[in-house]
Structure 1
Amino acid sequence: MKKILFLLVVGLLLQNFCMAQKVISLYSKVPNSKQNAAYQEKSEIGKDGVIRISKVTNPTITVFQPDKKLDQHIAIIICPGGGYSILAFNKEGTDVAETLVKWGITAIVLKYRLPSDVIMIDKAIGPLQDAQRAIQLTRMNAEKWNIDPSKVGIMGFSAGGNLAATASTHFDKAEIDNPENISLRPDFSILAYPVVSMQKDITHMGSRINLLGKTPTEASVNEYSNELQVSENTPPAFLVQASDDGAVSPENSIKYYEALLKNHIPAELHLYQNGGHGFGQKLPEDQWMNRLKSWMEHNHYLNN
Structure 2
Amino acid sequence: MKYFKLQLLIILLSLAMAAQDRAIIYLWPDAVPGETEEKHPAVISDNVSGGVTRLTDVTNPILTVFLPEKPNNSKAGIIVCPGGGYSILAIDKEGYEVAEWLNDLGYTAFVLEYRVPKKQKGAAQDVQQAIKLIRSKALKFNLDTHQIGLIGFSAGGHLSALASTNYKNSFYKKSDYLSDISPRPDFTMLIYPAYLDKGEGKTIDANFKFDEQVPPFFIFGTADDYYGNSSLVMAQALRNNETSVELHVYNNGGHGYGLRKGNTAAETWPILAEKWLKNITKKH
TM-score clears 0.5:
yes
Q: Per-residue CA shift, 1:16-68, capped at 9, x if unaligned?
A: 788x621121112211111369x984203614221000111111000101125
RMSD of aligned alpha carbons? 2.8
Q: TM-score, normalised by structure 1?
A: 0.80
Distance in 2 separating the partners of 1:102 and 1:14: 20
- Tell me if 1:161 matches 2:163: no
Distance in 1 separating the partners of 2:63 and 2:12: 14
Deviation of the 1:288 alpha carbon: 1.1
- More displaced stretch, 254-263 vs 192-201: 192-201
From 280, 294, 300, give the equivalent of 2:275. 294
Distance in 1 separating the partners of 2:86 and 2:239: 28
Residue type at the aligned position of 1:192: I
Q: What is aligned with 2:93?
A: 91
Alignment of 1:99-178 (within 5 A): 99-114=101-116, 116=118, 123-176=119-172, 177=174
Alignment of 1:59-98 (within 5 A): 59-68=61-70, 70=72, 72-98=74-100
Change (3 A) 1:151 1:64: same
- Tell me if 1:197 matches 2:192: no
Distance in 2 separating the partners of 1:84 and 1:243: 23
SS of alignment partner, residue 299 of structure 1 = helix
- Tell me if 1:30 matches 2:10: no
Q: What is aligned with 2:211?
A: 231
Runs (5+) with no aligned partner, structure 1: 117-122, 204-220
Q: Per-residue CA shift, 1:125-166, capped at 9, x if unaligned?
A: 211100011101101100001111100001110011000000
From 259, 269, 274, give the equivalent of 1:281. 259
Change (3 A) 1:14 1:104: farther
Alignment of 1:209-220 (within 5 A): none
Deviation of the 1:242 alpha carbon: 0.6
Change (3 A) 1:166 1:21: same
Distance in 2 separating the partners of 1:302 and 1:261: 19
Distance in 1 separating the partners of 2:77 and 2:38: 34
Q: What is aligned with 2:53?
A: 51
**Alpha carbons 2:81, 2:111 under 8 Å: kept:** yes
Residue type at the aligned position of 2:23: K
Residue type at the aligned position of 1:142: A
Q: Per-residue CA shift, 1:215-270, capped at 9, x if unaligned?
A: xxxxxx9543x3xx222211100000010013x1x221111111111111111000
SS of alignment partner, residue 111 of structure 2 = strand
Residue type at the aligned position of 2:110: I
Identity of aligned residues (%): 38
Alignment of 1:233-248 (within 5 A): 233-246=213-226, 248=227
SS of alignment partner, residue 287 of structure 1 = helix
Distance in 2 separating the partners of 1:13 and 1:35: 24
**Alpha carbons 2:84, 2:154 under 8 Å: kept:** yes
Distance in 2 separating the partners of 1:267 and 1:74: 19
**Alpha carbons 1:66, 1:101 under 8 Å: kept:** yes
Q: What is aligned with 1:187?
A: 186
Runs (5+) with no aligned partner, structure 2: 1-5
Distance in 1 separating the partners of 2:283 and 2:7: 38
